């Protein structure tokens, strides 16, 4: 398979002016600026082949967005190399733009006051699409993404889910070979998320579009990606098939227990609560305790049975762990290997 993306030692250090609080601080910073350096991305090596669908994961501040900005040519790296579809992104940004699509969940590329139909037209001019091609392509995308009812409504009046569908369709108008998606489902409700996931997966399968996405939602990764790359403090920590990662996810559940008020003191005075092998406390908030249960060691029924035997509860919920938890768990699992390789996390 052809290479879609390769980086070697890709790094970005941000230099920012340090400023103390208040007016005096601002004046001091202007008079005698002190610089602070922040290593956002540290020596990232990546190889993605055409047609792959890759999740690029890591906790807040791990450097995911900064990496995507370098790969799409928005930011210049401090050091290192990258090639995306044969182009050096920050040197050949325009050429690359004809071949990639980019969607940033937090930032719209649609004109806020215009209906999507006008933005689609503008995009077709920007990319110099042939009229016939453009009309056929936009008709196809409008149908697949079910955008018909919204095409003439100003974007500002659309729901977030409708807008995101328009965003992704707009990013596909010029038939990009690769799609960068930075948190494409952020803020959406469950149904809207599901639709976005199906649409992206379908583009990957039917058109072979290479997908590179970041998300904080484990279900996004499961639904859209076959491979997961986890970065931490910039460097690549883990790179493995999502199936393998899923086995980790499926072997753990998060159980939230909301206690009847009379039981609170019991919980707080017993740090090892509930003293069950295979269940550990990951958070407490008011009367609610969150447990991470390792299903390889203990069943949910047994945990609940033992909890109910010792206290009164108002509410219980059982969920898949949030992605941040899974990643933390992965860090734990890999700590030994990392120490052997003398990598600190
Ligand atoms: N323009 C900038 N100037 C200075 N520091 C920056 C800038 N952009 C990002 N950073 C810092 O670089 C680090 C990495 O940020 P980045 O946005 O790439 O992380 P992320 O993995 O995408 O996080 P999140 O999941 O929260 O979006 C953070 O500590 C951030 O504060």
ipTM of this predicted complex?
A: 0.95
Atom of ligand 1 nearest to the CA of 12: 12
Taking only the tens of pLDDT, the chain with its 345 residues reads 699 999 999 999 998 877 777 787 777 777 777 788 888 999 999 999 999 999 999 888 889 999 999 999 999 999 999 999 999 999 999 999 999 999 988 888 888 889 999 999 999 999 999 999 999 999 999 999 999 999 999 999 999 889 999 999 999 999 999 999 999 998 888 888 888 999 999 999 999 999 999 988 888 888 899 999 988 765 788 898 988 877 766 688 889 999 887 555 445 445 455 678 888 888 888 888 888 898 889 999 999 988 888 788 899 999 877 777 777 777 676 665 555 554 444
Architecture of domain 251-324: 2-Layer Sandwich (3.30)
3-class secondary structure, 31: helix
What's the CA angle centered on 123, arms 122 and 125, to 5 degrees? Answer: 65
pLDDT tens track for 106-142? 888 888 889 999 999 999 999 999 999 999 999 999 9
Q: What is 3-247's CATH number, 3.30.1360.200, 3.40.50.720, 3.40.50.300, 3.65.10.10?
A: 3.40.50.300
Mutate to test the pocket of ligand 1, among 61, 104, 186 (most ligand atoms within 8 A of CB): 61
This prediction has a pTM of 0.78
For the Cβ of 61 lying below 6 angstroms from any atom of ligand 1, the answer is yes
For the Cβ of 105 lying below 6 angstroms from any atom of ligand 1, the answer is no
Q: Structural domain boundaries of the chain?
A: 3-247, 251-324
Look up residue 286 and give its DSSP letter. T
Q: How many of the other CB atoms lie within 10 Å of CB of 313? A: 14
3-class secondary structure, 152: coil
């Amino acid at each position: 398979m052809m290479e879609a993306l390769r980086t070697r030692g890709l790094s970005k250090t941000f230099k920012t002016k340090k400023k103390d609080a208040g007016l005096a601080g601002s004046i001091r910073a202007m008079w005698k600026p002190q610089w602070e350096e922040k290593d956002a991305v540290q020596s990232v090596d990546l190889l993605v082949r055409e047609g792959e669908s890759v999740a690029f994961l890591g906790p807040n501040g791990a450097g995911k967005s900064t990496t995507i900005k370098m790969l799409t040519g928005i930011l210049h790296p401090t050091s290192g190399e990258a090639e995306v579809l044969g182009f050096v992104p920050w040197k050949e940004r325009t050429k690359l733009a004809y071949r990639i699509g980019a969607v940033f969940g937090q930032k719209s590329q649609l004109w806020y006051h215009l209906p999507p139909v006008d933005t689609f037209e503008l995009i077709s001019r920007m990319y110099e699409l042939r009229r016939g091609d453009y009309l056929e392509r936009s008709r196809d995308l409008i149908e697949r993404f079910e955008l018909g009812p919204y095409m003439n409504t100003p974007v500002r009046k659309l729901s977030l889910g409708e807008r995101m569908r328009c965003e992704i369709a707009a990013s596909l108008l010029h038939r990009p070979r690769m799609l960068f998606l930075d948190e494409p489902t952020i803020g959406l409700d469950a149904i809207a998320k599901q639709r976005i996931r199906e649409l992206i997966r379908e583009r990957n399968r039917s058109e072979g579009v290479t997908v590179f996405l970041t998300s904080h939602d484990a279900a996004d990764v499961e639904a859209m990606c076959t491979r997961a790359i986890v970065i931490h403090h910039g460097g690549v920590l883990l790179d493995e098939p999502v199936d393998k990662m899923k086995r980790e996810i499926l072997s753990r559940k998060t159980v939230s227990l909301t206690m009847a008020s009379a039981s609170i003191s019991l919980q707080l005075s017993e740090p090892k609560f509930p003293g069950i092998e295979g269940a550990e406390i990951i958070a407490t908030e008011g009367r609610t305790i969150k447990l991470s249960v390792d299903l390889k060691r203990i069943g949910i029924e047994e945990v609940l049975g033992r909890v109910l035997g010792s206290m009164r509860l108002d509410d219980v919920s059982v969920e898949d762990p949030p992605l941040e938890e899974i990643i933390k768990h992965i860090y734990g699992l890999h700590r030994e290997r990392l120490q052997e390789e003398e990598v600190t996390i």
